[in-house]
């Protein structure tokens, strides 16, 4: 039974691989993650470390002064003296006064600059970049996965192939389970593709930028692995929701439309419920739970019971609602699929 389900799941991957929709979604996610990386770089390179230009000498024939650039970084690193060492004394005093006036603003400026740099380095170098890439599956990834699931199940009705598969004696439960497993495998492959591209980009960044490196901390390298598992768990309710909508409507197009409507409605409801009934009430919505689930939870110290308790409470407060969605909608899909007659193909 398990072997047959796995064989069918393998074929689900083959079938999806030969359709354009998964490739478009994957290309979108990969490009988005790369663009986000580029945006992070732009933000870092545009971050202002309080750069000023001080006059370094007399004006030339065109009336232009030669200048030296001094930033808060020079001040923090104690490089001001050496930077100003070559300039004439009459200009040096004025330059030092300008540096002094900059020094007052430096803590705030460097705070923002350091934040942008840390952010960039955490997200752009290995292994932090991998988790950053995996997080790209959030937001639009949910919608894509729902659409993909609705499409994969719905076309079986549209093409009439579900009838033919079941007439071969595969069993309705196995058919549905193989679909979900196959979709999970495709989503897993998508994660690997994003990780691969992020890894390549990070290596290029590490190679070309000074002050970057690859962490050798094992715990840091375990984090992307844990994030993949968490992300896959987060995707499961969306796969099952897409499945449910396709089974409910016995159609690919209707399943996809309802998935999109569901996604938009949740976003609106999230805002309405959150505003009128409070954020806790909005926890009934899956889209509220999934970002919380993906948010990093630091492992507690094992000798601190209250920390362990808080960790488990936070963990279960997102794990259980997602599990509830999986169980309820999987049960609904299975029940509907099991008891309904399979009508003939509605067209190729």
Q: Which of 41, 55, 98, 159 binds another protein (CB under 8 A)?
A: 159
Tokens matching residue 212: 């970057």
Part of the chain binding another protein (CB under 8 A), chosen from 94-102, 157-165, 199-207, 230-238: 157-165
User: Which is it for strands 67-70 and 52-55: parallel, antiparallel or unpaired?
Assistant: antiparallel
Number of residues near another protein (by CB under 8 A) = 27
Number of helices (H), then strands (E), belonging to the chain: the values are 13, 2
Q: Counting contacts by CB under 8 A, is residue 193 touching another protein? A: no
* Residue 15 is a binding residue for another protein (CB under 8 A): yes
Rounded to whole angstroms, the Cα distance separating 144 from 265 reads 16
Asked whether position 296 contacts another protein by CB under 8 A, the answer is: no
SS3 assignment for 219-263: HHHHHHHHHHHHHHHHHHHHHHHHHHHHHHHCCHHHHHHHHHHHH
C-alpha torsion sign, points 303, 307, 308, 309? positive
Window contacting another protein (CB under 8 A); options: 50-58, 94-102, 118-126, 163-171: 163-171
3-state secondary structure of 49: coil
| The one among 36, 76, 103, 163 contacting another protein by CB under 8 A | 163
Among 164, 267, 296, 310, indicate the residue that binds another protein (CB under 8 A). 164
Structural element, H or E, at residue 181: helix 172-208
From residue 17 to residue 36, the character string flagging contacts with another protein as x (rule: CB under 8 A) and all else as - is -xx-----------------
Q: Which of 62, 217, 298, 341 binds another protein (CB under 8 A)?
A: 341
What tokens were used for 86?
């070559």
Nearest CB to another protein, comparing residues 330 and 337? 337
| Cα(194)–Cα(337) distance, integer angstroms | 34
CA atoms within 13 A on the CB side of 183: 27
Kindly tell me which of 110 and 248 has the beta carbon lying closer to another protein: 248
Q: Which lies closer to another protein via its Cβ, residue 117 or residue 163? A: 163
Cα of 56 vs its chain's centroid, Å: 48
Taking CB under 8 A as the rule, does residue 2 contact another protein? Answer: no
Binding mask 319-338 for another protein (x = CB under 8 A): --------------------
- Residue 122 lies near another protein (rule: CB under 8 A): no
Instruction: Tell me the closest approach of the beta carbon of residue 174 to another protein, in angstroms.
Output: 9
- The SS3 assignment for 33 reads helix
Among 11, 299, 309, 315, binds another protein (CB under 8 A): 11
Cα separation of 67 and 71, whole Å? 13
C-beta of 162: minimal distance to another protein in Å? 8
φ, ψ of residue 53 in degrees (nearest 5)? -110, 120
Tell me the residue ranges of DSSP E strands in the chain. 52-55, 67-70
Contact residues toward another protein (CB under 8 A) are 3-4, 7-8, 11, 14-15, 18-19, 159-161, 163-171, 339, 341-342, 344-345, 348
């Amino acid at each position: 039974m398990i072997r047959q389900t796995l064989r069918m799941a393998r074929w689900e991957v083959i079938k999806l691989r030969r359709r354009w929709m998964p490739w478009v979604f994957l290309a979108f996610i990969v490009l988005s993650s790369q663009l986000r990386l580029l945006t992070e770089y732009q933000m870092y390179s545009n971050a202002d470390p309080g750069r000023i230009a001080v006059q370094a000498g007399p004006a030339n024939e065109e009336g232009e002064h030669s200048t030296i650039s001094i930033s808060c970084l020079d001040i923090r690193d104690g490089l001001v003296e050496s930077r100003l060492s070559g300039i004439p004394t009459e200009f040096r005093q004025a330059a030092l006064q300008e540096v002094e006036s900059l020094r007052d603003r430096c803590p705030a400026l460097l705070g923002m600059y350091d934040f942008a740099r840390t952010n960039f380095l955490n997200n752009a170098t290995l292994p932090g970049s991998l988790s950053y890439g995996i997080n790209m599956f959030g937001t639009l990834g949910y919608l894509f996965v729902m659409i993909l699931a609705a499409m994969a199940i719905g076309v079986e009705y549209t093409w009439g192939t579900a009838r033919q598969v079941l007439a071969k004696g595969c069993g309705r439960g196995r058919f549905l389970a193989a679909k979900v497993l196959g979709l999970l495998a495709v989503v897993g492959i998508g994660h690997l593709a994003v990780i691969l591209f992020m890894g390549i980009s990070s290596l290029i960044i590490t190679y070309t930028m000074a002050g970057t490196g690859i962490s050798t901390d094992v715990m840091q390298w375990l984090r992307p692995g844990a994030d993949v598992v968490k992300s896959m768990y987060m995707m499961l309710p969306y796969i099952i929701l897409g499945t449910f909508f396709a089974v409910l409507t016995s159609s690919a197009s209707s399943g996809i439309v309802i998935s999109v409507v569901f996604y938009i409605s949740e976003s609106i409801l999230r805002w309405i419920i959150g505003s009128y009934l409070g954020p806790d009430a909005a926890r009934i919505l899956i889209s509220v739970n999934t970002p919380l689930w993906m948010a990093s939870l630091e492992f507690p110290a094992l000798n601190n019971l209250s920390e362990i308790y808080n960790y488990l409470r936070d963990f279960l407060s997102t794990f259980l609602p997602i599990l509830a969605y999986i169980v309820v909608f999987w049960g609904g899909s299975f029940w509907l699929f099991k008891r309904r007659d399979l009508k003939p193909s509605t067209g190729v």
